[in-house]
Structure 1
Amino acid sequence: MPVRFFLGGYTADMDGRADGVGVVHAGAPDDVLAGGALRWAGTATAAASPSWIAWHPTLDVVYAAHEAAGTVQAYRRIGEEAFAPLGDPVPVGELVCHLAVAPDGRSLIASCYGDGRIVRVAVDAAGRPSAPVAAPAAAAAPVPVADLPNLTDVLGTGSTPHAHQARFTPAGLVTIELGLDLVRAWEVRGDALAERHRVALPVGTGPRHGVWHPSGHLYVVTEHSNEVFVLRPAPGGGFVLVGGTQLPGTRVGADFAAEIALTRDAQYAVVGIRGSNTLATVRVGGDGDALSPVALVESGVDWPRHHVIARDTVLVAGQRSDEVVSLTIDERTGVPGRVRHRVEAPTPTCLLPDR
């Protein structure tokens, strides 16, 4: 089989054209890489705006964030490219936009952009979700930290809750809160979450998503200021802010950073930029705590909402151009080249590699 990707997307309830979770093939049947021709393979299951999808760590179960409905739904695999609902949808919050499944498969964390809720959802042995428990809301707006070298001074209020991502890291669970400019560290107490530490990023930067680097650092990309911050774990289960960089060639107020992904050797990070519709590459230096800008290139799509790196290829979901494209990455520089292949795909918002 070619390399297979499942696609989250927006359906009519979010002004999109998708029917549910889609399927895209990359390459010919005997290819082991994702750099070959792309082909739309249809809909794996009907779903209402499954804008983010995530695997269970061991079961053939996918979880979807139904963004408009504010629910989480599990789907069990019933064929190579087909899923069926498993259990009932679980209400979590307004405009749920991200799901992170715990490594032990016993829970997942839903992040809700609309009301800022962070919700822990229990998962049973068969993969069915239930029993949502909301985490404590942030008690106050963050206090700006001192500027670091090479970071832009961005004005903003940082007062409206908009949770955007949760990530299970070797240092524990963290959530990234775009509206409050916070990165929060948590511990699980029974069925609930308890905050153990927070890092306040500069007000108005809008942290959106993060990626864990093998050096033991968390890289957090900001939607409003187009920067990448570097956080290092600290004693007691917290994090400290140790560095960062501005993304090259971006414009505050016109460009909006989206996803961040590491190259295969983790020597570079690639960030999607909506607005200018570009991909920015930054180099990793020092012991993983130093980042420096490398290049900004065209993504080949309109509104690059999400991208994944599969060895020497980056696949990009163009939300507004209704397509997925693939570009080869120069692994010596971390810089993507021109678009090699493209395929029509209705309002894609998330790319999930098959396993």
Structure 2
Amino acid sequence: MERPNEVLFYVGTYNPEGEEAILLCSLSPSSGEMKILEGTKGIENPSFLAVNSTGSVLYAVSEKDEGEVYAFAINPVTKALSPLGSRSTEGGAPCYVSISPKQDYIFVSNYSGGNANVFPVNEDGSLQVMSDQVKHVGSGVREDRQEAPHPHSVIPDGSGKHILVCDLGLDHVLIYRHEEGKLSKHREINLPPGSGPRHLAVHPSGQWIYLANELNCTVTVFANDEQNGNLSILQHVSTLPEQYNAGSDDTASDIHVSPCGKFLYVSNRGQDSIALFHIEGSTGHLEAVDWQVTGGRTPRNFAIIGGKLLAANQNSDIITSFSIDSDSGRLIPTGNELKIKTPVCIQAL
């Protein structure tokens, strides 16, 4: 599939197994126009996706009561998906999947199951039997959202020797040592009660890690000591404007650092915006700069692809695209939108 002037990406949705739930799409980097190229059936609620470093395999969680994680081979020409099988995550509502730096393991977090898993990867990208699982215990201060552990994301550090798990229910980032598919608890980073840690973004330099706290709509800035597997809190900053009167629907969601390392973006559900922060180059500290409405409702996920920012507006069934000003990082609506039922994850190819 020769598309020299387009960038391809996949979209995960909350769609049933019998419908096209993972969509292959194209983006024009010049105009921000997006198109659906084809869809894949056979998986229910693929709410989070990850593509390996060679672009040959896509992994997708199936967010349901008896969770599963799927592997798909990516056709090198058409980029269509072919199933390589699935494995039980042995936990409900898997919501995140990530890949080790050497591409030999994947990691999955189960939101309602309260656990995180490791799966070894075969040479063809298919998954072996789960090699380890860690189960969290406890609760937080918010009875409505923190009645139990809720691991919301899991990522390896740059070395692959440590795994970071954000537990929304416990207000912890838990750091595990990873060795040959086995996890052992290393450290526990405590957040202010009621924070609800959700997703992490690593600065391109590796010096800092940024955490989106869902429940109190903040970002926590960490100094990253990768050698020793430790995070030190440097700053907490709100993802909402100072004058904004936040309500119960306001929750922070996704977070990404720009490829240049100068800007941080966070999506706000409720206000339905993307917050822009400038990153101070010597300290990693954040300065709030702007809030751009996404043109839809509930921006659960977004991605920076082909020099554009694409926002997945879950509850209005559209993806909207924005140009990024290279000097300021400000987002400029392109006026383009793509109609997709319940888009909840955008993954570049």
TM-score (norm 2): 0.89
Deviation string 1:243-299 (CA, Å, 9 cap, x unpaired) is 121113252523111111122321111111111211111111152431121111211
User: Would you say the 8 A contact 2:298–2:314 is kept in 1?
Assistant: yes
Give 1:338 shift: 2.5
In structure 2, the partner of 1:204 is 194
Give 1:18 shift: 5.4
Query: What is the alpha-carbon distance in structure 2 between the residues aligned to residue 123 and residue 47 of structure 1?
Result: 20
| 2:208 pairs with one of 217, 222, 242 | 217
Give 1:344 shift: 0.8
User: Would you say the 8 A contact 1:35–1:312 is kept in 2?
Assistant: no
* Aligned-partner SS, 1:57: coil
In structure 2, the partner of 1:147 is none
Q: Which structure 2 residues correspond to residues 242-261 of structure 1 after superposition, within 5 A? A: 242-249=234-241, 251=246, 253-261=248-256
* Aligned-partner SS, 1:320: helix
Q: 1:140 to 1:36 in 2, by over 3 A?
A: closer
Report how many residues are paired.
334
User: Would you say the 8 A contact 2:139–2:149 is kept in 1?
Assistant: no
* Aligned-partner SS, 1:131: coil
- 2:25 matches 1:37: no
- 2:70 matches 1:73: yes
- 2:119 matches 1:129: no
Query: What is the alpha-carbon distance in structure 1 between the residues aligned to residue 186 and residue 285 of structure 2?
Result: 26
Query: What is the alpha-carbon distance in structure 1 between the residues aligned to residue 228 and residue 265 of structure 2?
Result: 31
Q: 1:24 to 1:247 in 2, by over 3 A?
A: same
- What's the % identity of the aligned pairs? 23
Deviation string 1:298-352 (CA, Å, 9 cap, x unpaired) is 1111111111112531111111111111011222222212342111112111111
In structure 1, the partner of 2:95 is 97
Q: Which structure 2 residues correspond to residues 158-197 of structure 1 after superposition, within 5 A? A: 158=146, 160-170=148-158, 172-197=162-187
- 2:63 matches 1:54: no
Q: 1:36 to 1:139 in 2, by over 3 A?
A: closer
Q: Which structure 2 residues correspond to residues 285-304 of structure 1 after superposition, within 5 A? A: 285=280, 287-304=282-299
Deviation string 1:174-220 (CA, Å, 9 cap, x unpaired) is 11111111111111244321111110101111111010013411100
Q: 1:81 to 1:189 in 2, by over 3 A?
A: closer
User: Would you say the 8 A contact 2:269–2:297 is kept in 1?
Assistant: yes
User: Would you say the 8 A contact 1:244–1:290 is kept in 2?
Assistant: no
User: Would you say the 8 A contact 1:92–1:110 is kept in 2?
Assistant: no
TM superposition outliers: structure 1 runs of 4+ over 6 Å: none
Query: What is the alpha-carbon distance in structure 2 between the residues aligned to residue 199 and residue 298 of structure 1?
Result: 32
Query: What is the alpha-carbon distance in structure 1 between the residues aligned to residue 133 and residue 30 of structure 2?
Result: 39
State the AA in 2 paired with 1:169.
Answer: D
Query: What is the alpha-carbon distance in structure 2 between the residues aligned to residue 177 and residue 344 of structure 1?
Result: 32
Unaligned segments of structure 2, at least 5 residues: none
Query: What is the alpha-carbon distance in structure 2 between the residues aligned to residue 40 and residue 126 of structure 1?
Result: 27
Query: What is the alpha-carbon distance in structure 1 between the residues aligned to residue 348 and residue 181 of structure 2?
Result: 30
Query: What is the alpha-carbon distance in structure 2 between the residues aligned to residue 254 and residue 36 of structure 1?
Result: 29
State the AA in 2 paired with 1:50.
Answer: P
Query: What is the alpha-carbon distance in structure 2 between the residues aligned to residue 42 and residue 286 of structure 1?
Result: 41
TM-score (norm 1): 0.87
Q: 1:252 to 1:194 in 2, by over 3 A?
A: farther
